[in-house]
Structure 1
Amino acid sequence: MTEISADQTSMIPEWSASRLLLALLPLLGLGVVVALIFVTGTGLGTRALPPIEELTIERITLPQPGLITLEVVNGGPDPVTVAQVAVDDAYWQFSIEPDRTVPRLGRATIRIPYPWVHGEAHAVTLLTSTGVTFEGEVPVAVETPGFDWALLLRYALLGFYVGVAPVALGLAWYPFLRQVGRTGINVILSLTVGLLVFLFVDTLLEALDVAGALPAVFSGAPLVWLVTLLTLLVLLAIGGRRAQRSRLAVATLIALGIGLHNLGEGLAIGAALAAGEVVLGNFLLVGFTLHNITEGVGIAAPVARERPALWQFVALAGLAGTPAILGTWIGG
């Protein structure tokens, strides 16, 4: 048993009450300073500062002929009072719910009885009580469709075309992949890695683009980076549990990543069609469908030397493709 010598005992500090008080004194002083900041504010007193108004027009819809509806959110630190509304440079009567003054982080619905013209563009301007303006645009005036099961089914069919069908067709290359040699498999796996890198960059850019349209108070861009970092940490934690993961597990992770990417593609198609941009929606539909057939090859490549069951291929195609259906529903 080890004994502590007298010299070693003298080296251990004695935490008396006075010494502990000296250690805590700077922290107590810091607490006093923070308390003064909360009590007195910035020290500017009651100086009149201009209000900071940030009103974001989240959505403009045309629910019926002769009516424009706006959904707005106040992302600034101060309340915003909507004083007037102009459509195509002319002031119009409007109604706003729940109140003309939108509190911080509050939402409001503005209804404008305006005879919009089918197929034409219209500009909407909101004027606040302090003279600040916020603008929105209807690129192509088309009546916003209401919810019905037939429309839901049509959007689901679009998601099937852009997501499930091309991925399943790409997986149909599985018999061919089994016939190529080791060099061919390595080449295909290299293409798969390149595809995944492209999907990562493309998804990240899309997320940052969407985050830029959010009110600044929600900090959309930092949230994108935070979720990206958390996702990376989760994947590293999952991957660290098994050094040699099965090929089917690798294919499943690839299908999951592709599914998240296809969710964004469905959102883009649904939003374009909901906004009346039919040509853009059709262009995105055809382009994404042609592009997504390569995703099936990327999923099939890791299991080219194995014999997965048919239901496993169906599950992989569903995991990678069905998020596109969900995306069209949300976007539309």
Structure 2
Amino acid sequence: LLSNTGTAFEHEIAVAVSTPKATTSQLQAQALVGAIVGLLPVALGLMFYPAMRGVGRAGMNFLLALTVGLLAFLLIDMTAEALELASEAAALFQGTAMVWLAGLASFLLLMAIGRWRGQPEGLALAFFIALGIGLHNFGEGLAIGGAFAAGSAGLGTFLVLGFALHNVTEGIGIAAPMLRFRPPLWTFPALTLLAGGPAVLGMWAGSLAYAPQWSALALAVGAGAILQVMIEVGSYLMRQNRDRKAVLFSPAVIGGFLGGIAFMYATAALIKV
């Protein structure tokens, strides 16, 4: 493809498929798939909230560390994917620099907002976690939508199942900071929508208007948001314990952190097969 500015773009299509067009039935079907990938798994994870309230101090530390672990995996995964997509973009966009600068700007902006009225905890921290996960789920929606748009229905279906399993733990991570509080009922659907809803938007964008530079930018913003959430959750974990430094090396925290990474790695491996 040659743009009106003379910039050339190369893209290989393995099998010729018709150009996707937005129709009501298509958008509804994609919204359903996005809900299965994003909304349903997060909602299932949040349903563990009543059972999680009975955990003691060590259990609380384990769940918070589990949240940091799964976010650490998402951070590495999103950054790697953003850099890979940036390498496919036109030189005009300076992909690598764009990714790092967008991630840094996202991180600093959210840190400033989060610390505007003190350190976030409880419901505020849960919403920050949901926001970071929502931006990650937007990237997952892009991948699924792009697979269907390219005619890879088999790959798209497999990604739907893999991402749905992958995302169940995210709801548990969102619920962890709220265990010492009794949030109103409306917060649960709101958190589900914030964390899972972007998967629907990603589906639409990926199938109708996919471009590597904009996908890389979205993932970079998400990576910066997740880094901010990791710092806030870690800070909250330390504030909940008297011996702030020693708790970081306690069996519950180390086990939770490694467990979060291991679960996300194992479920992500199913998607890569």
TM-score (norm 2): 0.72
Deviation (angstroms), 1:212:
1.1
Structure 1 gap ranges (5+): 1-56, 58-71, 74-101, 108-133
Matched, 1:327 2:202: yes
Deviation (angstroms), 1:239:
3.5
Q: Which structure: larger Rg?
A: 1
Distance, in Å, in 2 between the alignment partners of 1:104 and 1:205 is 30
Matched, 1:293 2:168: yes
Runs of 4+ in structure 1 deviating by more than 4 angstroms, as ranges, are none
Report SS of the residue matched to 1:137: coil
Change (3 A) 1:237 1:140: same
Paired letter, 1:278: A
**Structure 2 partner of 1:250:** 125
**CA deviation profile, 1:303-325 (whole Å, cap 9, x unmatched):** 01211111111100000010000
**Structure 2 partner of 1:261:** 136
Matched, 1:282 2:157: yes
Deviation (angstroms), 1:250:
0.4
Matched, 1:141 2:16: yes
Matched, 1:103 2:5: yes
Paired letter, 1:103: T
Matched, 1:175 2:50: yes
**Structure 1 partner of 2:230:** none
**Structure 1 partner of 2:97:** 222
Paired letter, 1:281: G
Matched, 1:153 2:28: yes
Deviation (angstroms), 1:136:
4.0
Distance, in Å, in 2 between the alignment partners of 1:135 and 1:154 is 30
Matched, 1:316 2:191: yes
Higher fraction of helix: 2
Distance, in Å, in 1 between the alignment partners of 2:206 and 2:176 is 32
Distance, in Å, in 2 between the alignment partners of 1:143 and 1:207 is 27
Higher fraction of strand: 1
Report SS of the residue matched to 2:12: strand
Paired letter, 1:190: A
What is the percentage of aligned positions where both structures have the same residue? Answer: 55
Aligned length: 207
Deviates more, 1:293-302 or 1:213-222: 213-222
TM-score (norm 1): 0.60
Deviates more, 1:263-272 or 1:209-218: 209-218
Matched, 1:196 2:71: yes
CA RMSD of aligned residues (A): 1.7
Paired letter, 1:236: M
Change (3 A) 1:190 1:146: same
Deviation (angstroms), 1:240:
3.1
Deviation (angstroms), 1:192:
0.3
Deviation (angstroms), 1:242:
3.4
Distance, in Å, in 2 between the alignment partners of 1:167 and 1:327 is 16
Deviation (angstroms), 1:201:
1.4
Q: Is the 8 A contact 2:145 2:204 kept in 1?
A: yes
Distance, in Å, in 2 between the alignment partners of 1:237 and 1:103 is 39
Distance, in Å, in 1 between the alignment partners of 2:204 and 2:102 is 23
Structure 2 gap ranges (5+): 208-273
Deviation (angstroms), 1:135:
5.7
**CA deviation profile, 1:19-71 (whole Å, cap 9, x unmatched):** xxxxxxxxxxxxxxxxxxxxxxxxxxxxxxxxxxxxxx4xxxxxxxxxxxxxx
Change (3 A) 1:217 1:184: same
Paired letter, 2:5: P
Paired letter, 2:168: I
Deviation (angstroms), 1:245:
2.4
Between 1 and 2, higher relative CO (CA 8 Å, sep ≥ 6) is seen in: 2
Q: Is the 8 A contact 2:138 2:200 kept in 1?
A: yes
Change (3 A) 1:145 1:231: closer
Change (3 A) 1:135 1:237: closer
